[in-house]
Amino acid sequence: MRLGSLAFVFTVAFFPTHAFADPLQKSEDIVKFFDAASEFGPPRGICVGTEEECNSKSKAAPAEKTSLDMLINFGLDSAELDATARAELDEFAKALKDSRLSTLNFVVEGHTDASGSADYNEGLSERRARSVTTFLTSNGVDPARIKATGLGEANPRNPNPFDPVNRRVEMRIRTE
């Protein structure tokens, strides 16, 4: 019993890359997500009313989701793509080649957990983003349409800064 528990802890500690992953996202779902996100551009508006009324309306409005977390997770201190990540990125590459997304450019944002120094994590997050962009370009995506950037440990998905789910990349429509 004790050996089985130890093996489970070892597996979660050293192979956490997709322990919490959702099912594979299909290219059509990815296209629909980004096509809908690009239709209206960034949210803008005019509020008619008192300052208090307008402030309460803006706080009540749900935040629009502009990035898609493809759940491309990485092992500790790694920028290597595993088989699950490659399958997910195959779907993303198909989506980027779809005519409905042909006018959009994307940012691939790399992230880390808090293991390591801030400088090291910045470099690791950049390597993760480049790993994904290299995979996408090798699968026919125009390199001019995707930009890799590393954000280090600054924007964790989980509040626990050491949680393995923070080791990831996210895809965002580039607005610049």
pLDDT digits (tens, 9 = 90+) for 5-36: 333 333 333 334 443 444 467 888 888 888 77
Which pTM was predicted?
Answer: 0.71
The CATH classification number of 65-174 equals 3.30.1330.60
Strand partners of residue 110: 150, 169
What is the rounded CA–CA span in Å between residue 164 and residue 7?
A: 18
pLDDT of res. 166:
94
pLDDT digits (tens, 9 = 90+) for 47-87: 555 566 556 554 544 444 566 767 788 999 999 999 989 99
- Residue partners of 165: CB distance under 8 A and separation at least 6: 20, 73, 157, 158
Name the pLDDT band for 168 (thresholds 50, 70, 90). Answer: very high
pLDDT digits (tens, 9 = 90+) for 114-125: 999 999 999 999
Handedness of CA 4, 167, 120, 141 (dihedral sign): positive
Burial of 79 by CB count in 10 Å (0-12 exposed, 13-18 middle, 19+ buried)? buried
What is the rounded CA–CA span in Å between residue 96 and residue 48?
A: 40
Q: Residue 149: in which H helix or E strand, if any?
A: strand 146-150
pLDDT mean across residues, the chain: 78
What is the rounded CA–CA span in Å between residue 61 and residue 166?
A: 27
pLDDT of res. 156:
94
